[in-house]
């Protein structure tokens, strides 16, 4: 069974990301949420620090960080701004498929521009009627000589309108079910590509989410990722790597909420005492801290398994995402309760964290899907 240990280098890395997050990302978090605008200054600060290429191979200009280090970065940014934590891991999620299965020419054309922060990248799997049921997607790609012509639409796309590159899954053989799905890299300036409806969301409001539309969108056949008809399997494999990062995001949200509560209860007085002195409050804080630590162990273990290339990644990844996201929702709800009336207002970040936490139970496979994955691994 894989284990993990954090050494002085991990601690130093966490400290550097935390300092950057608190200085250059936290100050923009509330405004990004309020205006529903991409936090451009936070993104530029992240790139200026050299972190855009954190989890990308050194051969392509990145730092070559593994899943565990990447998770620490996601956690620390999510601790102050969950919306910003999406630009920490979505570009790698989008390009990860390309790095694993794409041609060298396609990799060299796309990835270095993402590594430098010149371009963002998005991952386009879901459709309006194909969320958990991926094989029900209707977007098609039809071969036409040296090109493919795409028609259809993708929904709930993180970074819609901000990204330059989009990893898109579509049906190249509509009669073959999940075996007829293939993956392509689509550039935002391709003819027939457009951004449709932008979602007005409860949380993660500083990260744009919207619809991507393909209307006779012509792309070179060289933009096919890997083998024709293997897209479904590529997508399912990618989820093992992305789910622990959603877990890390949820973990960061929960930790940020707990930190807010700990500071507040040591200042707030009721009945002549700091409310931190009340046993009921102390028990709430202790329960939150224990849940967060358990979630952290699950997330870090899943990431360590991925780094080691071990077996059992599907169950470990699903467990990490499931438990950490449920923890984030529980903790943020309790923190709002603990802060009372002020916790319900935008004067404190707790209500934003509570809204942000909810989607971690939904995307990258709902938590009901995580339970299906875990049960399947248990039962064979």
Active site (catalytic) residues:
364
* Interaxial angle between packed helices 82-101 and 67-78, expressed in degrees from 0 to 180 and rounded to the nearest 10: 160
- C-alpha distances in Å from residue 37, one per residue of 28, 172, 251, 329: 10, 35, 24, 24
Structural Rg of the chain based on CA atoms: 21
| Contacts of 209 by beta carbon, 8 Å cutoff, 6+ apart | 156, 157, 158, 160, 198, 199, 201
Exposure string of 339-370, with b = 16+ CB inside 10 Å and e = fewer, is beeebeeeebbbbbbbbbbbbbbebbbebebb
CA–CA distance, 74 with 72 (Å, rounded to integer): 6
Of 128, 146, 144, the C-alpha closest to 136 is: 128
């Amino acid at each position: 069974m894989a284990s993990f240990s954090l050494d002085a280098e991990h601690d130093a890395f966490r400290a550097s990301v935390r300092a950057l997050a608190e200085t250059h990302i936290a100050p923009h978090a509330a405004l990004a949420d309020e205006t529903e605008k991409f936090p451009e200054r936070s993104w530029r600060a992240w790139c200026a620090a050299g972190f855009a290429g954190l989890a990308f191979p050194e051969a392509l200009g990145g730092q070559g960080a593994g899943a565990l280090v990447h998770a620490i970065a996601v956690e620390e940014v999510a601790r102050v701004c969950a919306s910003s934590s999406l630009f920490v891991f979505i570009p790698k999620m989008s390009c990860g498929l390309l790095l694993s299965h794409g041609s060298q020419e396609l990799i060299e054309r796309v990835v270095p521009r993402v590594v430098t922060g010149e371009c963002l990248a998005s991952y386009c799997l879901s459709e309006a009627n194909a969320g958990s049921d991926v094989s029900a997607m209707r977007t098609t790609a039809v071969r036409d000589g040296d090109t493919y012509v795409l028609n259809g639409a993708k929904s709930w796309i993180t970074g819609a309108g901000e990204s330059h590159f989009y990893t898109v899954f579509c049906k190249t053989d509509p009669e073959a079910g999940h075996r007829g799905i293939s993956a392509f890299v689509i550039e935002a300036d391709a003819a027939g590509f457009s951004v449709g409806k932008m979602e007005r969301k409860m949380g993660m409001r500083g990260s744009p989410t919207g619809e991507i539309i393909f209307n006779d969108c012509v792309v070179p056949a060289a933009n096919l990722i890997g083998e024709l008809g293997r897209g479904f399997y590529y997508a399912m494999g990618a989820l093992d790597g992305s789910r622990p990062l959603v877990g890390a995001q949820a973990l960061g949200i929960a930790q940020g909420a707990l930190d807010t509560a700990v500071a507040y209860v040591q200042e707030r007085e009721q009945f002549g005492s700091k409310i931190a002195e009340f046993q009921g409050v102390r028990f709430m804080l202790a329960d939150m801290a224990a849940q967060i630590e358990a979630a952290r162990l699950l997330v870090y273990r899943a990431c360590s398994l991925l780094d080691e290339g071990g077996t059992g990644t599907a169950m470990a990844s699903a467990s990490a995402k499931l438990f950490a996201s449920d923890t984030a929702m529980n903790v943020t709800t309790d923190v709002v309760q603990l802060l009372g009336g002020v916790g319900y207002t935008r004067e404190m970040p707790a209500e934003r964290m509570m809204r942000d936490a909810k989607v971690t139970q939904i995307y990258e496979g709902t938590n009901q899907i995580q339970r299906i994955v875990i049960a399947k691994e248990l039962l064979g």
